[in-house]
Amino acid sequence: MQLISQTAVEGRVGPTFARSCPQLNASGLTDLHVFAKGQPYDLYRELREKAPVVWVDEPLSGAGFWALTRYDDVMKVNGDPQTFSSQRGGILMVTPRPEQGHPLLTRASLDAMINMDAPWHLELRREHMAFFTPKYLEAIKGRIADKITQLLDAMAPHAGEEIDMVEHFSSRLPLFTLCELLGVPEADREKFLEWMHYLERAQDLALQQRIGTLQMSPDLIAFIQNFNSNVEEMFAYGRDLLHKRRADPKEDLLTAIAHAKLDDELLRDEYLDGSWLLIVFAGNDTTRNTLSGTMKLLTEFPDERAKLAARPELGANAANEFIRMVSPVIYMRRTATCDAEIGGQTIAEGEKVIMYYGAANRDPAVFEYPDTLNVERANADKHIAFGYGPHVCIGKRVAQIQLQEAYRQILARFPNATWTGDIDIAPNNFVHAISRLGVRLDG
């Protein structure tokens, strides 16, 4: 069983064929600090209108990519995995290499099903599915609702004060839900919060290491030491738990992963690490940032908040509209397996293609007044924040349940809860990562 981390290749240094769109400056897409101010919606708009398939130089790897910002182009690439592979170079803008960043982390970020094509991808995804069916999820809905009530009870005494929503709510709910799905013992759950804190900084740290801009200070050295020990602890914990499930199976997602097979063999430890990282990261971070981003949106669109508070039956549609507007996964990459055409541009075999979900989800060709929150939007469920095609998010229903129930309860108890304007966003151009959000709950 070969490892993807040993076979994945960086994209071809292009562009090979003549550019069909004007060459606009899209270098902001590779600048993490641009994303620390929020997603660059103005740049997305300009690209979508004038250069929807634009070549972007990528300074770190030297291999640039085609950036897609139109809905139809993103759908086309997602829907054609034979031509646009996840496995050839992985789903990240720059193919991770062990010498860049913590080797365990870089390797595991490739050895996971999100970076696989058929047939392996299907084999592994099938094993996860039993824990994401509507029937199974119906059973954990009640526990999610109880957890939300518990978190809001703990926040209620702070009414009138500014509190950090990420710390008190958004980081805790997805963690609880994921641990319920995985079957992680209660006592171990707090560790996850710390692991997530370090994982969100991994991209920035690896980048600075690579370009040599890390200014070593005692604080930074301590941070890196903590980073490394947290990464090691996270993998050791996951591997141990998965091996225990092999010896002592239970009715949970961890047991399913522990018994999954590729080419009729149980997963190698490297694939256990990769599966563990994928589920822990994908299950936590995305939902966490949508929960926080929604509070910001409801403050910016108070009429929509009032409408939703008055008509809770709009909750399911509103959850989709929140996910469309926040689009917490900024992009996914594919690599062309042959020469192909997208939106009139010829892409050469081996070139990277990057799909910008936040841009596609605000394409006015599909969504009327796309920058406006509209909880009654008739086609809110057409958003592609969860991707599309064989890799479409396996946890989409889990995320929707959490968002819908969270805001049903928040608006019922604190109808005037507002974002105070304080926000910190981590420098990360893969996930829109809100690390602090000031919120004031009403009495």
Binding footprint of ligand HEM on the chain (CB under 6 A) = 86, 91, 113-114, 125, 178, 181, 278-279, 282-283, 286-287, 290, 323, 328-329, 332, 385-387, 391, 393-395, 398-399
What is the token pair recorded at 182? 């995985």
Cα atoms in the Cβ-side hemisphere of radius 13 Å centred on 106: 17
For the CA atoms of 335, 341, 347, 353, what is the dihedral angle to 10 degrees?
Answer: -40
Which C-beta is closer to ligand HEM: that of 61 or that of 361?
A: 361
CA distance 411 to 177: 21
**Which DSSP string do the residues of 372-436 spell out, in sequence order?**
S--TT-TTGGG--TT--STT--TTHHHHHHHHHHHHHHHHHH-TT-EEEEEEEE-S-SSB--EEE
Please, which residues have CB within 8 angstroms of residue 344's CB and are 6 or more apart in sequence?
Answer: 20, 53
Strand partners, 329: 431
Which C-beta is closer to ligand HEM: that of 91 or that of 205?
A: 91
Which C-beta is closer to ligand HEM: that of 151 or that of 441?
A: 151
Pairing of strands 162-164, 331-336: unpaired
Which C-beta is closer to ligand HEM: that of 354 or that of 398?
A: 398
Which C-beta is closer to ligand HEM: that of 124 or that of 441?
A: 124
Task: Report in angstroms how near the CB of residue 326 gets to ligand HEM at its nearest.
Answer: 8
Task: Report in angstroms how near the CB of residue 253 gets to ligand HEM at its nearest.
Answer: 8
Best CA proximity match to 266, nearest among 429, 123, 106, 148: 123
Which C-beta is closer to ligand HEM: that of 296 or that of 440?
A: 296
Which C-beta is closer to ligand HEM: that of 182 or that of 347?
A: 182
Best CA proximity match to 267, nearest among 123, 133, 104: 123
Burial readout 283-315 (b: 16 or more C-beta within 10 A, e: otherwise): bbbbbbbbbbbbbbbbbebeebbeebbeeeebb
Which C-beta is closer to ligand HEM: that of 113 or that of 205?
A: 113
101 burial class (0-12, 13-18, 19+ CB within 10 angstroms)? buried
Task: Report in angstroms how near the CB of residue 109 gets to ligand HEM at its nearest.
Answer: 13
Cα atoms in the Cβ-side hemisphere of radius 13 Å centred on 183: 16
Which C-beta is closer to ligand HEM: that of 124 or that of 411?
A: 124
Indicate the residue whose CB is closest to ligand HEM. 395
Q: What are phi and psi of 377, to 5 degrees?
A: -50, 125
Task: Report in angstroms how near the CB of residue 86 gets to ligand HEM at its nearest.
Answer: 6
What is the token pair recorded at 346? 């010829």
Which C-beta is closer to ligand HEM: that of 178 or that of 441?
A: 178
Amino acid at 142: G
SS3 content of the chain, % helix, strand, coil (to 5): 55, 10, 35
Distance of CA 138 to the CA centre of its chain: 23
